[in-house]
Each structure stands twice: as C-alpha cells, then as structure tokens.
Chains A and B, each alone.
Chain A
Amino acid sequence: MKVGVPNSFCYAGMENFFIRVIPEVLEDSQIIFSGKTTKEMVEYGLKNSCDELCIPAKIFIGHVEYLIRKKNVDVLFIPRLVSILPGTYSCPKIIGIPDVVKANYFGIEFVIPEINLRNNRKIKLINTQLYNFLTPKIADTKNILVLAHSYVIFDEFLNKGVLETLKNAGYNPIYPTCYYLDSYYIFSDLPKELFWSSARDIYYYFEWTVNNTQVDGVVYLMTFGCGIDSILQELIMRRCNKMGLPYLCLTVDEHCADVGIQTRIEAYLDMIEWRSSRDEKNYLPAHG
C-alpha cells in the first residue's frame, strides 16, 4: 500500500516522525514523500485551492495533487495538528487543512490522526520529536536574523533564495526552527503570551537572539495571506525600531521572479554596511 505524505506546510520537517509512526498505524505501507516544492506543484496548488488560503497552504494542496496524480498513492496520511505545544493552538488553517483536502479529493483514502496537546501539560518534549530541523549555527558577528515560519525558511521556492543571498554576501543567516523553544520563554516581556504556537516560536526566538547574540539586522519573510504574520510582523517591526535594528519585511507570494526580493535584500545589506561603517548606536531610525 502506497502511503502518500505531503511534506510541506506544517508537515515540513516531520519526515522522521512519519517514518516512525506510519508503520505502526498502517501495515505493509510504503511511504512516499512529495519532496521539494517545484513549479509544477505550485501550479497545481494555485489551480485547486480557493483564493482565501495563504500561499503555503495553496502549495500544500499542490503537493497533495502531485502525490495523487504523479505518484498514484492509495492513502494520504495527513495528521490534524490541533495543538503541538501545551497551552497553545495551531493556526486555524493548519487545523483545517486535512478537511480542505478531504473535501476536494474522492476515491482516495485518508488517514487523519489528531495531535492535540492543548491541555496536556505533562508532555513537554514531544515537539522536538515532531520536527527535525537543522538548527542554524550562530556566529560571533554578521548574523542576520531571518524570521519566518519553518515551512517558509526550509522551502526553497517560498524563501526565494534569501538565505543563499545572505550567505553569498558574507552574512550568517539564523532563523527559528520549529518549537524548540521551551527554554526561551522566560526572556519574553510581552504583557500576554502569544496565542498561536508558531507565533510564539518566532517571537521568542527573536527576543532571545537580539538579547543574547550579536545580530546585525532582522529580515521578516512574510507569506501572502498569513494572518499570524500580519500581526507578528508589526510587533517585531516596532521592537526593531525601538532598538535601532535595521529591519526589512519581504512579502513572498507565488511570483516566480525573485528580482524584486533580490533588489531589496541588496539595498538592505548596503544599508547595514553603510551604517556599520559608523557607530550605529547613534543612528536610530527616524521613525518608531
């Protein structure tokens, strides 16, 4: 039995988890991952999803379509990630995505187990077992903090080569890796904890890095149509302005040309270099 696993969106980085879990649930199964996002998948996704969805969710639907059309899978394994961190919820689009897919495809079997840790305060480490991402190495200088959901950071189509560009320019990009952050929570000085787990992930990592490491600048990769990003971006922008950190917000969507992104990144790095050639602490942004 061929079991298809679309490993994009919130399921990116969960490969080890799937390899561990699926044989326990489904006997005689052969796991097929959809792999890296390609232009073909993006086109499938755009064609088959409604326009209110965010870009990562649309691309996820592209991955599903690819598995069904090109890989002829018998079963789709899409867990419902209601809550993957005690005390929080996942984004509603993440919770609902199995249903979106199920309502669209017939003649194929779905296995949708539920993962809900909302009230389970005992299990703390399950998150690190869900996701396996390579954590970035923090260098002594020239760190650029790239903030985005993990499924954007690790998707070469969605990140538009921003990480590569930063590396080629001699900077060290660092970024949050999913739900690894229990120990960072104490650093937050927000009056109220953030509700969504991915928002916590990003915000606490931001707080921790700017307070504990040498960060030259912050780049926020916002995905088009993401509700969490729209709030978090503003929050982080205000913090950056207060601290005088160079900040850049890039919105990524289904555009395949990356020239606009490249121009902004280049100008941004020029700005950082220009500033660091002087004593930057005295040159706070004019607004804020």
Chain B
Amino acid sequence: MKEEFFLGIDIGSVSTNVVLIDINGEVIESMYFRTQGKPIEILQKSLCTLYEKYGDSLKIKGVGTTGSGRHLASLVVGADIVKNEITAHAKAAIFFVPDVRTVIEIGGQDSKIILIKDKIVIDFAMNTICAAGTGSFLDRQAERLNIPIENFGPIAINSKNPVRIAGRCAVFAESDMIHKQQLGHPCEDILFGLCLALARNYLTNLAKGKKLESPILFQGGVAANIAMKKAFEQLLGVQIIVPKYYNVMGAIGIALLAKESTKGLITKFKGFENLHKCRFETKGFECHDCSNFCEIVCFYSNGNLVARWGDKCQKYSSNRNHHIENSKNL
C-alpha cells in the first residue's frame, strides 16, 4: 500500500473515533473507542493500533480533528485542520447521500440537527445545556434496568403498546419510568416509550419550527439503537436512513475536510513514530492574578510546555493561539 491516506479524528465526550480514508474518500479503516475520560491516552492507543496494523506503508497526507476535544487532539497529532463537529457531520452526510436534506445526529452528550439544501448547510441547531435524549442518558437507563446497551434496541422494538413517558427532563423521565415499572408494564414497552419520549424531546427542542425534509439521515452513536430509528420514523411518518458508518461520521467528515484543505500542501502530522514515543501530560491551576480566577490548563509533551489555555486575558494562552492560527491558515 503506497497510496495516500487521510486521517480523521473525532474526540467526543463519550467516544473517540479514528478514521482512515483514501484519496477517493473510501473508508479504509474506522475505529470506535470509549473516551473514558482519558482522551489523550485513548487517542495514542488507537493510533498505535493503526500503526501496528499497517506499518510504514501508511503514508498520511493530511490530518483533521473535530469534536469537543479537537484542540487537544490537534496538539497531540499535529492537525492540518481543526473544525467543529457540525461542519464535519454535514460534510460526511453530503458525501454519502448527496441529496440529503436533514441530518439527525445524536451523540454521547449532545444532539444536533442540520438542515441541508443542494449540498449546503442552511440551518442547524444543537441541544442546549440539557442532555435529556442523548446517548449518556440511554446508557444510564439501560444500566439501571440491567440491560446491556446493545440489547436495548432489539428488546424495545418488540413493543406493542409503548407507555407514555415525559421526556422533557432526564431526571423526570427516570421517575416516570420507575412509576410505570412499578405499575407492572413490561420492559419492552417502557424502553420503547422512552425512545419515543426522547425522539419527541428532540423534535420539540431542536427541530422546533424547522421543516424536516426527506431524505433524513440518522447518525451518531445513538443511531445504533434500532428502536430510536423506529421511534423517529413513527413520529415523522417517513423513512430514515442510518448510514453504514453512522458512529464515525464526524471523523469521516473531518478526514474529507483534511483531504480538501491539504491539497498541494505538506501535512503537519507528527508521524506515528513520534507519537508512540511522546509522553503527553496536562496540568491545571487556578490563576489568582485578578478576580476572574481563570482555570489554566498547561499541556506538556515529554516534559516540555507546549501550550496553555483557559485564561480570559491571553496572558498564558498566546502560545496556544499561535498554534491554532497556524493550523487555520492552511
């Protein structure tokens, strides 16, 4: 394999995804890991796995990072492009389904809706502070009912008579569920009732006032749950497409963006060899120079200070801004 490859990295709250695409945008490799609160370690581990599998023949021409950990990831790997997850998801959706009109994306801690027309994003919305209806909540409820999250969908889909659950708030949804379970409703009805509640919550919170045109794509980690797909189909009355790489769409999108942005340029990627050897560390402290008490994070690579951020006054972060500006200029 002497071809050229592009790497897309999506570090989210719950999962870390790494995707390798070739020059035509074909997905060569996709990896999905749980972030487990240790984004740097997981990222290093996943890149090492990739390196072990393909070795030196892997020629990376461009790297992009996205997700809430995108700035951190870009420092670790040396990214060519750092973009927000909305743009990345839209990019991937358009790549797989060119005439897509609506993207429903539900991840670990946030959910988004993206409206697209003629391959252009025309509107989007993201959930606000509340995380009712996202993956973490489903995870928690499955755990509470002692059902492995993989079985959640297959069990819920058998429901004949779903119960009504209030999905406005995660805490109240839970008490509603407990109430229904104490009344003796079967498990599958409660689970599918929950799916319906979450889909309803999504549609009232995010899709509020927006017209959802077909084709509708459903992506993000929660799309693995077939009952959620069914719930959306039931509420919207249309077919919903779950793309093949639904759980790594963000990473694919950013890899595609990296491919576009590095045309004719040399990548900033640090290389697998260096990554393997590097030891990354973050330390935090609270600055007491003024009454803002900013929390400063220092990022070290092999004991050398590489970047700092978190301050309002830019006293510490000029270093980091420099780095990001560089990657933007590409």
Binding site for B on A (CB under 8 A): 38-41, 156, 237, 246-247, 251, 253, 255, 259-260, 263-264, 266-268, 270-271, 274-275, 278, 283-287
Given A270-B121, A283-B122, A286-B210, 17 more pairs with CB closer than 8 A: A38-B291, A41-B291, A156-B312, A246-B123, A259-B68, A263-B84, A263-B85, A263-B86, A267-B87, A270-B84, A271-B87, A271-B123, A274-B121, A275-B120, A275-B121, A284-B122, A286-B123
Binding site for A on B (CB under 8 A): 68, 83-87, 101, 115, 117-118, 120-124, 126, 128-129, 209-211, 213, 290-294, 312
Contact A283 B83, beta carbon cutoff 8 Å: no
Looking at the complex, which one of B84, B85, B123, B294 makes contact with A285 (CB distance below 8 Å)?
B123
Return A75 CB to nearest CB of chain B, in Å: 23
Q: Nearest residue in A to B115 (C-beta to C-beta)?
A: A286
Bound together, the chains give a CA A284 to CA B120 distance in angstroms of 11
Contact B210 A38, beta carbon cutoff 8 Å: no
Contact A270 B123, beta carbon cutoff 8 Å: no
15 A-B pairs within 8 Å (CB atoms) are namely A39-B291, A39-B292, A39-B293, A39-B294, A246-B123, A247-B123, A255-B129, A263-B84, A266-B84, A266-B87, A268-B124, A271-B123, A278-B120, A283-B122, A285-B122
Bound together, the chains give a CA A40 to CA B289 distance in angstroms of 13
In this complex, the member of A156, A247, A283 whose beta carbon has the largest number of chain B beta carbons within 10 angstroms is A283
In this complex, the member of A260, A268, A287 whose beta carbon has the largest number of chain B beta carbons within 10 angstroms is A287
Q: Nearest residue in B to A66 (C-beta to C-beta)?
A: B291
Return A122 CB to nearest CB of chain B, in Å: 43
Task: Return chain A residues, CB-CB under 8 Å to B83.
Answer: 266, 270
Contact A287 B120, beta carbon cutoff 8 Å: no
Q: Nearest residue in A to B295 (C-beta to C-beta)?
A: A256
Bound together, the chains give a CA A36 to CA B193 distance in angstroms of 49
Task: Return chain B residues, CB-CB under 8 Å to A274.
Answer: 120-121
Task: Return chain B residues, CB-CB under 8 Å to A38.
Answer: 290-292
Bound together, the chains give a CA A263 to CA B117 distance in angstroms of 22
Return A241 CB to nearest CB of chain B, in Å: 9
Return B160 CB to nearest CB of chain A, in Å: 35
Looking at the complex, which one of B68, B84, B120, B294 makes contact with A267 (CB distance below 8 Å)?
B84
Bound together, the chains give a CA A271 to CA B68 distance in angstroms of 19
Q: Nearest residue in A to B70 (C-beta to C-beta)?
A: A263
Contact B293 A267, beta carbon cutoff 8 Å: no
Bound together, the chains give a CA A263 to CA B292 distance in angstroms of 23
Bound together, the chains give a CA A237 to CA B13 distance in angstroms of 31
Return A247 CB to nearest CB of chain B, in Å: 8
Bound together, the chains give a CA A274 to CA B218 distance in angstroms of 22
Contact A286 B86, beta carbon cutoff 8 Å: no
Return A24 CB to nearest CB of chain B, in Å: 32
Bound together, the chains give a CA A246 to CA B124 distance in angstroms of 10
Looking at the complex, which one of B68, B86, B115, B126 makes contact with A287 (CB distance below 8 Å)?
B115
Task: Return chain B residues, CB-CB under 8 Å to A284.
Answer: 122
Bound together, the chains give a CA A247 to CA B84 distance in angstroms of 18
Bound together, the chains give a CA A57 to CA B295 distance in angstroms of 25
Task: Return chain B residues, CB-CB under 8 Å to A260.
Answer: 126
Bound together, the chains give a CA A39 to CA B210 distance in angstroms of 37
Task: Return chain A residues, CB-CB under 8 Å to B87.
Answer: 266-267, 270-271
